[in-house]
Amino acid sequence: MSKNFSRRDFLKLAGVGTTATAVLTGCGPASRYVKREPYMQMPEYTYNGQSTYYATTCRECAAGCGLVVRTMQGRALKVEGNANHPLNLGKTCARGQATLHGLYNPNRVRGPIKHSRGERLYASDVDPFNGEFPDVAANLNWDDATQVVADALTKYKPNEIAFLMGTASDHLFDFVTDLAAATGLNAPVRFGALSMFEARATLSKASENLFGEASLPFFDLGGAEVVFSFGANFLETWLSPLAYTRGFVGLREGKTKLRGYLVQFEARMSQTGGKADEWIPIQPGTEALVALALGRLAFERRGGALPRAFADVDPKEAAEKAGVEFETLERLAFMFADKAGSLAIPGGAALGQSNGLEVAEAVLALNAIPDNFGKRGGVSLSALAPTQTEYHRPASPKEMEEFTAKLASGEIKALFIHGVNPLFELPKALDFQNALSKVEQVISFATFPDETAVAADYIFPDHHGLESWGYQRVFTGSALPILSGAQPVVSPFYDTRATVDVFLAAAQLAGGNFASATPFKDEVEFLQSKIAPLMNETGGHFSAVDAPTFDASFQQYGGWWKTEGAFGAPNTADVLNRDLSGAESQFVGEGEFYLVPFVSPTLAEAGANKPWLQELADPTTTVMWSTWVEINPHTAEELQIDNEDVVKIISEFGAVEVAVYKYPAIRPDTIAIPFGNGHSAYGRYAEGRGANPADLFSAEYNQAGDILFGGLKVKIEKTGKKLAIPRLESMMGVYHEGMGEE
Amino acid sequence: MATVSDLNISEVKLSEEYVGKWGMFINQDVCTGCQACVAACSMENNIPFVGDEDSGYGRTMNWIRIERFWEGEYPEVKMTQNQPMMCQQCGHAPCEPVCPAFATVHSQTQQLNLQVYNRCVGTRYCANGCPYQVRSFNWRDYKRPEPLPNQFNPDVTVRRRGVMEKCTFCIQRIHQAEDKARSEGREVADGEFTTACAQVCPADAITFGRVDNPESLVSQLTKEYQGVRHLEELGTLPNISYFKGA
Amino acid sequence: MAEKNKSKAEHAHDEHTAEHFRQKHLMLDPLPRGQMNDMVMEAMTGKPTWKFWLTVVILGSIVVYGLGYSWYRLIAEGLGIAGVNRPAYWGIFLVNTVFWIGISHAGTFISAILRVFKAEFRRPFTRIAELMTTFGLVQAGFSIFMHLGRAWLSYWLVPYPNERMLWPNFHSPLSWDLLAITTYLLSSTMYLFLPLIPDLAMARDKSTGWRKNFYRILAIGFRGTEGEWTHLRNAMNIFAYAIIPVMFSVHTIVSWDFAAATRPGWNSTIYGPYFIIGALHSGMGAAAVVLAVVRGTMKHMDYFIRGEHFDAIGKLMLIISMGWAYFYFNDYIVQWYGGDKWTKQLLHFHEAGPLGWMWLAMLIVNIAIPWAILWNQKWRSNPWLISIVGILINVGMWFERYLIVPVSLAINRMPFTWRLYIPAVEVYLSLGTLALFILFYVIASKLIPFIPVWEVQEGQLAHKLSKFGRETVVTVSELE
Amino acid sequence: MIKRLFDWLKQPLGLVAVGIVFLAVFSAAVYGIALTQKAPDQPIQFPHNKHVGFGIQCLYCHPGASKGPNAGLPSQAKCWACHNQIARTQTSELLAPLKNAVESGTPIQWVPVAQVPDFVQFNHRAHIAAGKNCEDCHGDMTKVTVAENPQVFNMGFCLDCHVKTAGEDKVLLNKLADCGTCHY
C-alpha cells in the first residue's frame, strides 16, 4: 500500500461499496427478514391471521354506547358499534372510532409516577409531527404506588379524603361510593365538561319542578312530526348523540307519515340548526319568552281556556324582543298546534343563562299543548339503568364550586382524581388550580398526561378504556334499562393498573374498615358481585344458569339489558297550571357581543389528544386542528376584521385570543367559540393548540346551579396578529373569497 | 394461452346498459355531517393524518369528505345538505385511461376502480382527471409515531410517499366476505358485510350493496328515492346515487 | 457593352448599393474561407476570461443547489416540500415541462422548416437554434421526472417485456408524451449532429492537443469528398423532413395531457395547434435572446449575426404572435360561448382571481408588446430590443402555461375543494433547470462551432448581386 | 492536481490499487447479493424433512392455511405436545432452545422465509380450496432441513400459475389476473 492510499481509505471505500450494494439490491438481510413469534399456547377460538371480536363499552363520553372491537394477535384494529346494544344499535360516532388513537396514543402515562407538582410528563416545545418526544419514565413500582394510596387512606381522617371522577356512572363510581359509605370517606363527586355544557342540572331541576321527579327528560324525535328545538344540539354532543341522531332519522324518514319538520331556535347555527328546516336566530335571552309566546299562540289556535302558564305573555311584544317577525312566530305556533306529533326541546346555550331554568320549564311546558308526555314522539323520563333506583346526576358547576372551596380551605387533605381533567374542564373562574395547591396530597389516575396529572403529586395510571374491565350505566337514549359491560380487548400496553385493583390492594394494606369494606380478590370479582343480582331479574336479554355463565355472557354481549322497557311517564298533572316566567336573561359583562360557547362535535371534552379527531373537519365550519371564533361577516366588516385575524375576546372574568372565522349563520350581535382545544398539556397533539372558551366564564350560576356559560357578554379587541386556521372547505369555492367581483 | 389483451383492464363501456356491481346509496337528507364515516374510513384503511399545516393547505388524506355550502345571507341563510363525497367507482372512469402505468385500472370482476399502490409512480394524472376530486396523494411519508402503528389494519397496504390513493369501497371487506361465502359454498348475502363508512354511519345515510341485484337494499333505496348521480352528464357512470333531500 | 457605357456616377452608385447590400447581408459579404474558419475557431477556442469562469461557477452552483440538493430533498422527503396540493396536483414542474418543450420547438422550426423552405437567412444560426432544441428537451425531461411522486420507478413507463404481463398504458397521453419526447430528443440530437460533422472536421483540422482528439472522434472521419457531401445532404434532407412531424406531434401530445382530461378549461379540441403555436412563440423569443447574447459575448459574431437576422426573426415573431392571439381567442371565445358553468367560473377566475394580473400580463407581453414593437423594421433589427421582447414573450408564455396548469387546476367541478397553489421548492428546481440550460450553452460555446461555417460559405457561394434594369437584386442559385 | 493523480494511478502500484478497489467493490456487491439470497438464521435448526418424514401433515402444524389468509406458526404448546414425549428432547443440544423456551415461557423468534411484500394480500385458504398443494409453492419439504424458500414469490411466479389456471376461461382470467385480487 502506498502511503497516498491508506488502509483506512480502503475500508471506507469498501464500506461505501457494501452500502451501495445493499441499497441497489433492495436492502440488506436486516430489512428483508422479520421475526415472528408464535403463540405460546394458541387459544382455541383463533387461528393465525383471523380476527377476534370483543364487546365492550365506549368511554369517550358518558353516553355508554356498546362497541365491538376487532383484534388480531393482541392488537386492537378497529372499533365498530355493537349491533346488539340497544343504545347505539351497531353505530358509533367519530369519537368512538378514534378511541384507538387513545389506546395507542404516543403520549400515555406508562407507569406509576411520583413527581413534583407541575413537572412536565413529556418534552414540550417539540414539533408534534416530526419531533422526538421522550416521555417521563415510570419511577415507581406498583407496590410502592399501592403503599402510597394505603398511606393516604390511613394518614388522613376519612372526611379529609375526597374523590373526583368523570361523568359516567360506572363500576368505579359504585366501588368508591360503597367504600365511602362503609368507611366515612367523602362520597365521590362526578363532573365533566360535557355535563356542564349540556346543563344537566338545569334539565333535571326543570324536570323536578314540572314533573315532580328529578330526571333527564328524553325526547322521542323519531315519533314526532314537528320538533322545535331551543338550542339543543342533539346531533352533535348532546346527552346521547347516537340515540338522538337515530331519532332525527326517524323524524326525517317516518315511513307512514310525512317528513318531519325541525325548527331550531338559536343565535348561532349549530350543525343541528344546519340540518333543521328552519333556523330562527332569536335574540339570546328571550328563549323563555318565545316559548311562552308560542305556547299562547298555539293554545289560542286550538281554542279553549288559556292556562295559567301562558296567560301572562304578550306574543307581539315577545316577537319584537326576540327579533322575530310576528307572522313567523304565529305560523310556527300554528304549525305546532295543528300537527299531532309536536315536540319542543330545551337545550344548548339557552340553559346556561341566568334564566336557564325558566327556559327549560317554558320549553318543556310547550309539550303540554299536544300533550305528548310519556307518549311516542313526546317527552318522557329516561329509563333508569339496572341496579339504579334513582337518577344520579353529575355535580353541577355550582356544586363543583362548593367542592373547590372545600379543597381550597384545606378541609380536604387527600384528593383522588379519576376520569376527569378539572384543570381543563372546569372554568378557570373556579380557580381549581389554587384549590389543588392547598390539598396536601393529590393522586391522579389519569391514562394521559393531562393538566391535572401534571399538577398532581402522583400519577397511578389506570388502563385505557379498551384495556379495562367495568360496566357503565346508560342514563338516557334508550327505553330499555341498560348496564353496558366493558372488558379488556387487548392486554394492557403499558405498566398500568386498574384503579379498583389499586384501591383493593391499598385497602388491604390500610386494614381496618377499609379491608373489611372491600372483600374482593380483584376488580373482576367486585364486578361480578355487582352484576350478580341481575341474574335473578326477569326480562334480561339473556339468561344464565350459574354465575360464571352469566358473567361470561355479560362480557360477550357487552352488557345486560331488558328486552322490554319503557320510558318513564312524567307526572304532568299541573305542568300548565303554574306561573311560568318569561323573564329575559340577565347577561354578565359589559361587552356588546353575546358569547355562545359550544362543545366541538369532533373533539368534545377529551378528544384533543387524538390526532385523527383533530384532523376531522368540524361539521359546521370544517376547521381542523384549532380553535376559532365565529363572527357574522357583516359584524366583521364593521369591526374591520377578516378571516384568520387573531382577536382577543374579553369577558368580565378573563380573555382568550382566537382566530376569526366569518360564519354566515350567526346573529350579528353574537359570537361563538368551540370548546375542545386549548390544552396546556395532554400530549403532543393537544398541547398549545387553540384556546379554551371556558376561561371566559364567570363563577355565576343559574337557579339550578349551572354556570352561566351562555349568559355572557364579551368584548372583541383586535390584536393585529394573524393565525392560519386549517379548514377543509375552500374559501374560494364556498365563500367566493378571492374569486373577484362577479 | 391468455395474453394481456384478454384482460380487458381498459375495456370501456359507454352506454346506458352499464350495470355496476357494488354501489352505494347516500341519503343526504339524514346525513348529519358528524364525520363518523371519515373517522371510520381512516381507521379501517390506515389513512395517515397530515397535521395542521398540510391539512390547511389542502393535503388532507381522507378518502371521504363531507361537503356543505351556504345559501342566502343572514338571516335567511341556509346550510345545504351535507354531501359525503368519495370515489364514485365510476363505470367509465376518467381516472383510468390517463394513468400511464396502469396503476389505476378497472376491475372487471368487482366493477371497481382499483388503485394499485405498488404500481403507482405518482404522476397524479388520475387526480386531475377525476371530476369528483376524491383522490388523495401521499405528499410525504406521514409519521405515525409508535405505538400508533399497532392499529394498522393488516388487510390494507400501508402507503408510502409518492403514491395516489382513494376510496376502495373497502375492497378488503369485499374479499373477506366473498372468501367466506365461497368457503361456505354460497353467494354473498345482501347486508352480510358493508363498508366502514356505511357500518358506522349513525344516521344510516350510507347504504352499500350490490347494484346489479334489484332486490338488494341499495337498489331498492335508489329506486324509492330516485337517487341521482353526481356529474352524470360527464358520462362517468358513477355507482353512487344520492338523495339530495327536501 | 453596357458596362463600359456606365457613367462614373452610376458606377459609384452601384458600388454604394453593393456596399450597402454587403453590410446588410451576410450572404453578400463573403470572406475568404480560411479567414472565416479561423474566426469561428477563435471564437470557440479563445482562452476563457474570468467572466466566463465566473458565469460557469455561478450557474454551476445554482445547478448543484437547484437540481442536485433540492431534487435530492424532493426525492427523500416526498412532494410535500413542493407546493402541490389538492386540487392543484400539478404545479410548476409541469409548467416547466411544457415551457421547455416549447422552447425546444424553435430549433427545429428554424433549422428544419426554414431549411425545407430554403429560407436563406437561417444559415448562420441554425446551429444555435438546434442546440436550443436539445438543451431544452433535457430540461423538459428533468422537469417531468421531478414531478413524479416516485421518480425512481419511472422506468415503468417504458414498455419492456416482462413476466408480469405489465405494460404501460397506451391510452394515456403521458405514455405517449414519454415516447414523443424521447423520439424528439433522439432525432433532434441526430439532426443537430449531422450538419455539425463538416464543422467538426474543420475544427479537427485546425486544432491541436485534446481538442484534436475530441473533434477527430466526433467528426467520424469526414474528409469532405463529394460522396460524403452527397450522403450528408441526403441524410440531412431526410431528417429535415422527418423531424417536422415529430416536432408537431410532441407538442400536440403534450397538449393532449390537458385536452384529454375532463376538466373545465382543459378539455378543448384546439389545444393541439394552440400549443404548437405557443411553443413557436416562446421558442422564437428564446432564439432571439440567445442570438443577441451570443452576438454580444462571443468574438466575431457580429460578422455572422446581423440586423437582417433579427429582422427576419422579428417578422416571424410578429406573425407567430398574431397566430397565437388567433388561437387563444378562438379557444377563449368558444369556451366562453359554450357557457358551461364551471368553465365560465374558470375564465372568470383567470381574469379576476388572485392571479388576474398574470392573465393580463400574459396578454400584454404576448400580444400587445410584440405587435407594438415588431412592426417596425428598425426596431426589430435591434438585437437588444428584440431580445427584451423575446424575454418578455417567454415570461408571457410561461405565465400562459402557469394559468393552464396550476391555476386552472384550482377551479374544478367540486367547488368545495378549490384551492390555490403556492410554489415552494419547485422554484429552486426551476432555477436549476434554467441555469443548466444556460450552462449547457456556455460550455457548448467552448466545444462546438456555434456557426455552421460550411452552410454560410455555401450560401455565400450561391448569392450574388445582379442588376435587372436599374434595379439591383440579390439572386440565389440552386446549389443542390 | 488531477493530472498528478492520473499519473500516479498509471504506475504499477496505482494499477494495483485500482484493481484492489475494483475487486473490493465487486466482491462487496457479490457478498451483498449473496446475503439476500441466503436463508436466514433460525433460533432452532428445525428439520422440516424429519417432521414430514414422520408423516406429519403440513396442516397439522400450519392449520391456518385451510382456514384463512395465514398458515401460521405452530404454538409452542403444539411442539411440546409431541416433543415432551420424546426422550431425546430432554438431552439433545439442538432441541435445547425449544426446551428452554417452553420452560421459561418465552416465545421462539422464528424468521419466516416464505414471504410476500406488504402490498400483496395473499390468502392461503383460497389456494388450498382451489386444490393447490403446499409443495406447489413451497417446494418439497421432505428435502428441506432448515427452512428455505424454493422460489422467490414475485409477481411473475404468482401470475404464471393464475394464468395457467384460467386457461381459456376469459371470465376466470379476468378474475385471477385482476390487480385487485392481490393488491389493495
Q: Do B109 and D178 touch (CB under 8 A)?
A: yes
CA nearest to C342 within chain A: A733
Whether A53 and D90 have beta carbons less than 8 Å apart is answered as no
The 10s digit of each residue's pLDDT in C160-189 is: 888 887 889 888 999 998 899 999 999 999
> Residue C30: CB partners within 8 Å, gap ≥ 6?
C457, C460, C461
CB pairs < 8 Å spanning B and C? 151
Q: How far is D105 from chain C (nearest CA, A)?
A: 43
The 10s digit of each residue's pLDDT in C77-100 is: 999 999 999 899 999 999 999 999
Residue ranges per structural domain of chain A: 54-104+465-490+533-560, 113-192+394-462+497-519, 197-381, 593-735
Q: Calculate mean pLDDT across residues A532-556.
A: 90
Q: How confident is the model at residue A25 (pLDDT cuts 50, 70, 90)?
A: very low
CA nearest to B2 within chain C: C165
The cell for B160 is: 408510502
Whether B219 and B210 have beta carbons less than 8 Å apart is answered as yes
Q: Calculate mean pLDDT across residues B221-240.
A: 90
The 10s digit of each residue's pLDDT in A616-649 is: 999 999 999 999 999 999 999 999 999 999 999 9
Q: Do D29 and A32 touch (CB under 8 A)?
A: no
The 10s digit of each residue's pLDDT in C349-380 is: 999 888 999 999 999 999 999 999 999 989 99
Query: Could you tell me which chains touch chain D, where touching means 3 or more CB pairs under 8 A?
Result: A, B, C
pLDDT at A230 over 70: yes
- CA nearest to C350, candidates C363, C339, C337, C340: C363
Nearest to D75 among A28, A36, A41 (CB): A41
Average per-residue pLDDT in chain A?
Answer: 88
Task: State residue A14's pLDDT score.
Answer: 40
Chain B interface with D: residues with Cβ < 8 Å: 1-2, 6-9, 102, 105, 107-110, 112, 114, 116-119, 155-158, 168, 171-172, 175, 179, 182-183
State the DSSP string of A41-79: S--TT--TT--EEEEEE--SSTT--EEEEEEETTEEEEE
Say yes or no: A91 contacts chain B, CB-CB below 8 A.
Answer: yes
Query: Could you tell me which chains touch chain A, where touching means 3 or more CB pairs under 8 A?
Result: B, C, D
Q: Do A739 and C353 touch (CB under 8 A)?
A: yes
State the DSSP string of A383-400: PPPTT-SS--PPPPHHHH
CA distance B11 to C209: 62
Q: Calculate mean pLDDT across residues A525-539.
A: 90
Q: Do B34 and A634 touch (CB under 8 A)?
A: no
The 10s digit of each residue's pLDDT in C98-114 is: 999 999 998 888 888 88
Domain count along chain D? 1
Q: Do B161 and C416 touch (CB under 8 A)?
A: no
The 10s digit of each residue's pLDDT in B116-135 is: 999 999 999 999 999 999 99
The 10s digit of each residue's pLDDT in A333-350 is: 999 999 888 999 999 889
Task: State residue A12's pLDDT score.
Answer: 44
CB pairs < 8 Å spanning A and B? 197
The 10s digit of each residue's pLDDT in A243-302 is: 999 999 999 886 556 788 999 999 999 999 999 999 999 999 999 999 999 999 998 888
CA nearest to C162 within chain D: D156
Q: How far is C375 from chain B (nearest CA, A)?
A: 41
Q: Do B133 and C178 touch (CB under 8 A)?
A: no
Domain C39-159+167-476 fold: Formate dehydrogenase/DMSO reductase fold (1.20.1630)
The cell for B92 is: 367509465
> Residue A1: CB partners within 8 Å, gap ≥ 6?
A7, A10, D17
Q: Which residues of D touch A40 (CB under 8 A)?
A: 75-77, 105, 107
Nearest to B146 among A106, A624, A665 (CB): A106
Q: Calculate mean pLDDT across residues A497-518.
A: 91
Which residues make beta-bridge pairs with A623? A727
The 10s digit of each residue's pLDDT in D112-145 is: 888 888 889 999 999 998 888 888 888 888 888 7
Q: Do B156 and D179 touch (CB under 8 A)?
A: no
Q: Which residues of C touch D163 (CB under 8 A)?
A: 165
Q: Output D37 or C149, whichever has higher pLDDT.
A: C149
Instruction: State the sign of the Cα–Cα–Cα–Cα dihedral A20, A24, A25, A30.
Output: positive
Q: Does domain A113-192+394-462+497-519 have CATH number 3.40.50.740?
A: yes
Architecture per CATH, domain A593-735, reads as Beta Barrel (2.40)
Query: Could you tell me which chains touch chain C, where touching means 3 or more CB pairs under 8 A?
Result: A, B, D
Nearest to B163 among C150, C169, C262 (CB): C150
**Structural domains in chain B plus CATH codes:** 18-243 (3.30.70.20)
Q: Do A738 and C417 touch (CB under 8 A)?
A: no
> Residue A284: CB partners within 8 Å, gap ≥ 6?
A267, A349, A350, A353, A585, A587, A594, A596, A667, A670, A710
Say yes or no: C169 contacts chain D, CB-CB below 8 A.
Answer: no
Say yes or no: D122 contacts chain A, CB-CB below 8 A.
Answer: no
Q: Which of A589-598, D29-38, D67-76 is predicted with the least confidence, judged by mean pLDDT?
A: D29-38
pLDDT at C433 over 70: yes
Q: Calculate mean pLDDT across residues C420-442.
A: 94
Q: Which residues of A touch C347 (CB under 8 A)?
A: none
Radius of gyration over alpha carbons of chain A, in Å?
28
Q: Do C415 and A741 touch (CB under 8 A)?
A: no
Instruction: Report the predicted TM-score, pTM, of the whole model to 2 decimal places.
Output: 0.91
pLDDT at A146 over 60: yes
Q: Which residues of D touch B109 (CB under 8 A)?
A: 174-175, 178, 180-181
pLDDT at C46 over 90: no
Q: Do C80 and B122 touch (CB under 8 A)?
A: no
Q: How far is A269 from chain C (nearest CA, A)?
A: 20
Q: Which of A39-48, A401-410, C325-334 is predicted with the least confidence, judged by mean pLDDT?
A: A39-48
Average per-residue pLDDT in chain C?
Answer: 90
- CA nearest to A365, candidates A406, A432, A404, A312: A312
CA nearest to A17 within chain D: D25
What range does the domain containing D10 cover? 2-37
Q: Which residues of C touch D119 (CB under 8 A)?
A: none
pLDDT at B209 over 90: yes
pLDDT at A4 over 70: no
Which is the CATH superfamily of the domain at A54-104+465-490+533-560? ADC-like domains (2.20.25.90)
Task: Examine residue D32 and state whether it is found in any structural domain, yes or no.
Answer: yes
The 10s digit of each residue's pLDDT in C107-139 is: 888 888 888 888 888 888 899 999 999 999 999
CA nearest to C167 within chain B: B101
Which is the CATH superfamily of the domain at A197-381? Dimethylsulfoxide Reductase, domain 2 (3.40.228.10)
CB pairs < 8 Å spanning C and D? 13
**Dihedral class, residue A304 (left if φ above 0, else alpha if ψ from -120 to 50, else beta):** left
Q: Do D159 and C164 touch (CB under 8 A)?
A: yes
pLDDT at A222 over 50: yes
DSSP secondary-structure letter at A604? T
Task: State residue A31's pLDDT score.
Answer: 42
Task: State residue A18's pLDDT score.
Answer: 40
Residue ranges per structural domain of chain C: 39-159+167-476
Q: Calculate mean pLDDT across residues C52-68.
A: 95
Task: State residue D103's pLDDT score.
Answer: 86
Q: Which of A311-320, A404-413, C278-287, D91-100 is predicted with the least confidence, judged by mean pLDDT?
A: D91-100
Q: Do D159 and C165 touch (CB under 8 A)?
A: yes
Q: How confident is the model at residue A304 (pLDDT cuts 50, 70, 90)?
A: confident
Say what percent of chain A tops pLDDT 90: 65
Q: Calculate mean pLDDT across residues A464-477.
A: 91
Indicate which of D159, D179, D181, D182 best probes the interface with B, i.e. most B CBs within 10 Å of its own CB. Answer: D179
Question: According to the 3-state scheme, what is the secondary structure of A270-338?
Answer: CHHHHHCCEEECCCCCCHHHHHHHHHHHHHHHHCCCCCHHHHCCCHHHHHHHHCCCHHHHHHHHHHHHH
Q: Is the preceding peptide bond at A29 cis, omega within 30 degrees of 0?
A: no
pLDDT at C1 over 50: no
The 10s digit of each residue's pLDDT in D5-25 is: 778 877 888 889 889 999 999
CA distance B172 to A78: 14
Q: Which of A26-35, A199-208, B72-81 is predicted with the least confidence, judged by mean pLDDT?
A: A26-35
Q: Which residues of C touch B59 (CB under 8 A)?
A: 80, 85-86
Q: Output A360 or A135, whichever has higher pLDDT.
A: A360
pLDDT at A24 over 70: no
